[in-house]
Amino acid sequence: MNKTISQGAEAKIILSNDLIIKNRIPKSYRIKELDDKIRKHRTKSEKKLLEKASKIINAPNPLPLTDSYQIKMPYIQGEKLSDVLNNFPLEKQKEVCKTIGKNIAKIHEADIIHGDLTTSNMILVEEVLDDNLKRQLNKLKKLNLPKEDYAVFGSSPLAIRGLRENHDIDIIVKQKLWDKLVKKYPVEEDKVIKIDFIEIYRSWLPWIKDTDNLIDDAEIIHEIKFVKLKYVLLWKKIHNREKDKKDIELIEQYLKRGDNNSQIFFIDFGLGFISKKIEDKAVDLHLLKQALEAKHFKNWESLFNAVLEGYKDYKESKKVLERFKEIEKRGRYKF
């Protein structure tokens, strides 16, 4: 089944089964020969850039070309970032922007200039939760515990990232919350409160003493704090049971893929090109800044700072940033 999902100025986007077909449409105001040439060139160039980018960041890897004006690529099921970013809590917005910065760092490292960095050209893929985990998390949410005072630990931080299934949910809580809970529920073995399949701990001894730090530093996923994988890894390495060894491997592989859990896909490399020039990279960032200002104006400054934080991964980031500031100045005194 074919469905038109977007009709831009340059291209028509059709969803056909699980494939996106991006057709570059003719422009009647251009001489036909020239128009054909331009459309062919852009199609080929975008296909190449997508191919290159998809090896280093999340981006759809195109199929081999079968038509000079058409790119086929996998459909990325998710939300256009421009539609959803403003709805998230600021912390999550910043996390997403940091990931964007890290992605830009990676493509710039490979001299890929995106050319149209806006949140409309990014797709956010929410984690796909299996039914079991979804049910567990809903149950946890129903307990209505104060969100800042607890975090999910144990193996569920792996499950939420799709690394493997979990059986129950372990959470660690701050003292204040623990004091409240012990008045309501019995404490078993002097350390754990069990509510259904949810196990609540104040401390994670003998392995980890300071659980408050783990809670404060946790990542919010589906409105719930999850202990970062690096701490899960630490605990599993100390404990090192047979089943931990497997988990250690899974986490290490996952962290190697990029130390973030967000699934931002970059699309639309139609205005992209290859360049080593610092100026081109700075302009890329400048476009993104303008896009944030326009569409995410409430928090654009802290969001852009989060982008730059992620961008620091790029070894030439300082130079690019200096040039970026010059570009800003030029813009200001243009009139």
Ligand X SMILES: Nc1ncnc2c1ncn2[C@@H]1O[C@H](COP(=O)(O)OP(=O)(O)OP(=O)(O)O)[C@@H](O)[C@H]1O
Catalytic residues: 116
Q: Is 48 in the site for ligand X (CB under 6 A)?
A: no
Of 115, 154, 157, 270, the one binding ligand X (CB under 6 A) is 270
d(C-alpha 230, C-alpha 259), whole Å: 9
Q: Which two tokens stand for residue 169?
A: 């949910």
* Closer of 219 and 268 to Mg ion (Cβ): 268
Q: Is 272 in the site for ligand X (CB under 6 A)?
A: no
* Closer of 93 and 121 to Mg ion (Cβ): 121
Q: Phi and psi dihedrals of 111, rounded to 5? A: 60, 25
The piece of 100-108, 173-181, 265-273, 291-299 that touches ligand X (CB under 6 A) is 265-273
Strand partners, 23: 12, 70
Q: Is the distance from CB of 323 to CB of 278 less than 8 angstroms?
A: yes
Q: Is 119 in the site for Mg ion (CB under 5 A)?
A: no
Decide which of ligand X, Mg ion, none touches 20; Cβ closer than 5 to 8 Å per partner kind: ligand X
Residue 142: Cβ-neighbour burial (10 angstroms; 0-12, 13-18, 19+): exposed
* Closer of 123 and 171 to Mg ion (Cβ): 123
The 3-class secondary structure across 70-118, one letter per residue, is: EEEEECCCCEEHHHHHHHCCHHHHHHHHHHHHHHHHHHHHCCEECCCCC
The piece of 120-128, 249-257, 290-298, 325-333 that touches ligand X (CB under 6 A) is 120-128
**Site track 255-274 with Mg ion (rule: CB under 5 A), x = hit:** -------------x------
- Whether residue 206 has a cis bond before it, omega within 30° of 0: yes
The residue ranges of DSSP E strands in the chain, in sequence order, are 2-7, 11-16, 19-24, 70-74, 79-80, 112-113, 122-124, 150-153, 169-173, 192-195, 198-201, 219-221, 224-226, 264-266, 273-274
Of 267, 285, 303, 306, the one binding ligand X (CB under 6 A) is 267
Of 121, 155, 262, 263, the one binding ligand X (CB under 6 A) is 121
* Closer of 6 and 68 to ligand X (Cβ): 6
Q: How far is the CB of 74 from ligand X (least distance, A)?
A: 6
Q: Is 80 in the site for ligand X (CB under 6 A)?
A: yes
Q: Which residues bind ligand X (CB under 6 A)?
A: 5-6, 8-11, 13, 20, 22, 60, 73, 75-76, 80, 120-121, 123, 267-268, 270
Q: Which residues bind Mg ion (CB under 5 A)?
A: 121, 268
